[in-house]
Amino acid sequence: MKNKVYILEDDAGISGLVRVALEMNGIAFEAFGTCESFLKALETGLPDVALLDVMLPDGNGFDVLKRVKAEYPSVCCIMLSALGKEEDKVNGLNLGADDYVAKPFSVLELTARVNAALRRRRHANVLRAGALALDYDTMSILLAGRKLELNRKEYELLKYFIENAGKVLKRETLLTEIWGYESGETRTLDNHVSRLRKMGVTNLETVFGVGYKLNVE
């Protein structure tokens, strides 16, 4: 799956230049001109990296940064700002920014910083599948940055789905791997999948006559 970057920037010219540079590097890209549209997009899917301008028509990038880090801590945030004073950079970093780039900036340098952020994420002990993030260190799973409250079997089942995202998994395989059942029919699996869907994991597809698949496209 491609890495994805969102940019919150009201200057279409800047967004266009960044788009060309990142897409040439195989990075998916979406641009937003207002805080409202950017925050709305986060509700349906998270980027790997967010590029945040500070001066925006309907708000302040620092306020957006605080909200992103509070609600979606897994998103790496790079501030883009004409406010190049040291105190502005310090403010952004203290609010949780992972990097700070002052305008005007080199698109090549920005691309290098985005790639560095993506490398840091790959080295983290976290496996991602769409909006789901499995943290092996804390044995927790986040959905769009929100920690799911799972019992042991729910966690093991969703972990198995994430580790095999995009694959059709047979009912027999899931029952054996999670519950140790070698044969026989049970509603246990179906009930657990139903509970995960109610928690918001709506991309669990039923493959009739076979089993289930976690879609990540």
CB distance 171 to 190 below 8 Å = no
Domains of the chain with bracketed CATH: 4-124 (3.40.50.2300), 128-214 (1.10.10.10)
Measured in Å, how far apart are the chain's first and last C-alpha atoms? 8
Sheet holding 126-129, edge to edge: 126-129, 132-135, 140-143, 146-147
CA distance 47 to 74: 9
Give tens-digit pLDDT for 152-204.
999 999 999 998 888 899 998 899 889 887 665 678 999 999 999 999 999 99
Please tell me the distance from the alpha carbon of residue 100 to that of residue 81, in angstroms, as a whole number.
8
For the stretch 33-79, pLDDT in tens is: 999 999 999 887 778 899 999 999 999 999 999 998 887 777 889 99
Q: Please tell me the pTM assigned to this model.
A: 0.60
Q: Which of 138, 49, 156 is nearest to 147 (CA)?
A: 138
Give residue 194's pLDDT.
96
Write out pLDDT tens, residues 110-133. Answer: 999 999 998 887 766 778 888 898
What one-letter code names the amino acid at 56? L
